[in-house]
Copies of this chain bind each other. A is one copy, B any other.
Amino acid sequence: MTVTAAVVGASGYAGVELFRLLVGHPEVKLVGAYDIRNVGKRVSEVHPNLRGIVDLKIAEPDYVKIGKQTDVIFVATPHRVAMKFVPKLLKGKARIIDLSADYRFDDVKVYEQYYTKHESPGVKGVYGLPELYRAKIKRAHLVANPGCYPTAAILSVAPLVKRHLINIEHIVIDAKTGTSGAGAVPGELTHHPIIDANILAYAATTHRHAPEIDQELSKLAGRNVETHFTPHLIPIVRGILSTAHVFLRKPTGARGLLGLYRKFYAGEPFVRVLEELPQVNFVVGSNYCDIGFELDARSNRLVVVAAIDNLIKGASGQAIQDMNLMFGFDETRGLEAPALRP
C-alpha cells in the first residue's frame, strides 16, 4: 500500500525535514507541497539540499480540496496558524499530523494562556508521543505532534513519575537546544556573530513548552505536576540535551532504576536506555531518544539526561513515526537512518 502525503508549511525547517524523510519512505508518495510563502518555487529552490530529489512546486493550499484528495497531511505551519485551517482539512478523508502546538492541550484554557485565543477549540487531537499513546495514535484522525523539548523531557522522567518514585515538587528540567529550534527566519539571537561563541537561558520560567510537559507528567502521575523548566540556546544547529534534576522519595539503587527504565521502554524502537550519559552527537540525524542517568546516592538526587535531534524525534521524524502507526506500517519505516557522526 502506498499513501499519498502532502506538507502544508513547506518553507520552514520542519517542512524540509518532512520532505527529506518522506522522499525516502517506501510506502509514501509525496504529492503536495503547500505554503503561502515561496508559492511557485520548487521545494529544491527553497531547500537546495533537495535539488534533484524533491522538485515539486510549492502551491497555495485549497484546504478542503487537499483534505479530500490526500491520505495524510503534515501541518508544519507556525503555532496559531494551524487551528485556522485544520478543521477544513478534516472535512476530507485525510488524516492529519499537526506539528504545531495548536491541538496539544487537553484544556484549551492552558493553550490560550500561553498562545492565543483558540479558533477551533472543539477539535481534539491525540498527543503524538508513541511511547505513551501508541494505541490512540493508531486510530487518530488528528495527531498533535509533541514539542521538541517536551519529547525529551517527558521521556526522560516518565518512568519515575509514573511509578511515583520522585518528589514532584522539585523536578528541575534544564534543557539546551541548537539554533534550528528557532526556525528558518533569521533573527537577532541566531545571528552567527551573536550566538557562535555564546550560550544563554531564555524564557527561563515562562516557556510555553512547560505546560505541555506538565500536562503529560500530571496524567502519568495521576495528580498535578508542575515541573521547573528552563531552556537554553547553545551554538549547535541540531539537537536537544535535556537534563532533569530530580529527587528520589526514598533511596533506590542505580541497578533498580536502570531496570525500571529498561522495562518501561522495552520494545520501544526509538528509545535507547544507556548505562552512561547520552550526547546529542550520537542521535543527531536519527529518530532516537537516548536516555541515561547518574545517581547521587548520598543526596538521593538523580540526574537524568535525554538527547534527541530536535528536528527528527523532536518534530518531523516523530510525525512520520506517528504516520507509520496510523497507517499500519512498520513503526521504523523511513526512519532507519543512524545518527550522522562525526
A residues bordering B, Cβ < 8 Å? 13, 16, 20, 23-24, 47-54, 170, 172, 174, 176, 178-180, 182, 184, 186-188, 190-202, 204-206, 226, 228, 230, 232, 234-239, 241, 243, 245, 247, 272, 274, 277-286, 290, 294-296, 298-299, 301, 303, 305, 311, 336-342
6 smallest A-B Cβ distances: which pairs?
A193-B342, A205-B296, A49-B339, A174-B174, A198-B281, A204-B294
Contact A205 B301 (CB under 8 A): yes
Q: How far apart are the CA atoms of A5 and B154 in the complex, in Å?
A: 40
| Contact indicator B49/A204 (Cβ below 8 Å) | no
Instruction: Enumerate 6 A-B pairs (CB-CB under 8 Å) in ascending A order.
Output: A24-B336, A47-B341, A192-B237, A197-B238, A197-B280, A234-B234
CB-CB under 8 A from A187, the residues of chain B are 186
Tell me, rounded to whole Å, the shortest Cβ–Cβ distance linking A189 to chain B: 9
CA distance A272 to B44 in the complex (A): 13
The answer to whether A200 and B241 touch across the interface, beta carbons within 8 angstroms, is yes
Bound CA span A278–B53, Å: 16
The reply to whether B226 and A299 contact each other, CB–CB distance below 8 Å, is: yes
Minimum CB–CB distance from A17 to chain B (whole Å) comes to 9
State A301–B199 Cα separation when bound (angstroms).
21
Chain B, Cβ-Cβ closest to A278? B200
Q: Quick one: which of B198, B228, B285 contacts A285, CB cutoff 8 A?
A: B285
Known: A187-B186, A230-B245, A342-B180. A197 touches B282 (CB 8 A): no
Would you give the shortest CB distance from A73 to chain B, in whole angstroms? 21
User: Contact partner of A338 among B49, B172, B239, B290, CB < 8 A?
Assistant: B49
